[in-house]
Amino acid sequence: MTAFITQPAPDFTAEAILHGEFGTLKLSDYRGKNVVLLFYPADFSFLCPTELLAFSDTREAFKARNAEIIGISVDSKFSHFAWTQVERREGGIKDIEFPLVSDLNKDIARAYGVLLPSGVALRGLFILNKEGLLKHATLNHNDLGRNVEEVLRLLDAIDFSEANGELCPANWKKGEKAMVASAAGLKEWAASK
For 44, residues 6+ apart whose C-beta sits below 8 A from its C-beta are 79, 83, 91
For 21-43, write each residue's pLDDT tens digit.
999 999 999 999 999 999 999 99
- Catalytic residue chosen out of the listed positions 9, 27, 48, 100: 48
- Residue 86 sits in a domain whose CATH number is 3.40.30.10
Q: What percent of the chain has pLDDT over 70?
A: 99
Helices 148-164, 48-57: inter-axial angle, 10-degree rounding: 50
Using CA atoms, how far apart are residues 116 and 114, in angstroms rounded to an integer?
Answer: 6
**What's the total number of domains in the chain?**
2
Residue-range definition of the domain harbouring residue 189: 148-193
4 lies in a domain?
no
Question: Do 49 and 142 belong together in one domain?
Answer: yes
- Report if pTM > 0.85: yes
114 and 77 both lie in a single domain: yes
- Separation of alpha carbons 181 and 140, rounded Å: 30
Same domain, 35 and 67: yes
82-91: long-range contacts at Cβ-Cβ below 8 A with a sequence spacing of 24 or more?
82/43, 83/43, 83/44, 84/17, 84/20, 88/49, 88/53, 91/44, 91/46, 91/49
Is 84 in contact with 96 (CB distance < 8 Å)? yes
* Residue 133 forms part of a structural domain: yes
Q: Is 168 designated active site? A: no
pLDDT-derived band of residue 3, with 50, 70 and 90 as boundaries?
A: confident
For residues 40 and 97, membership in a common domain is answered with yes
The band of 1, judged by pLDDT with boundaries at 50, 70 and 90, is low
122 and 159 co-located in one domain: no
At 109-165, the pLDDT tens digits run 999 999 999 999 999 999 999 999 999 999 999 999 999 999 999 999 999 999 999
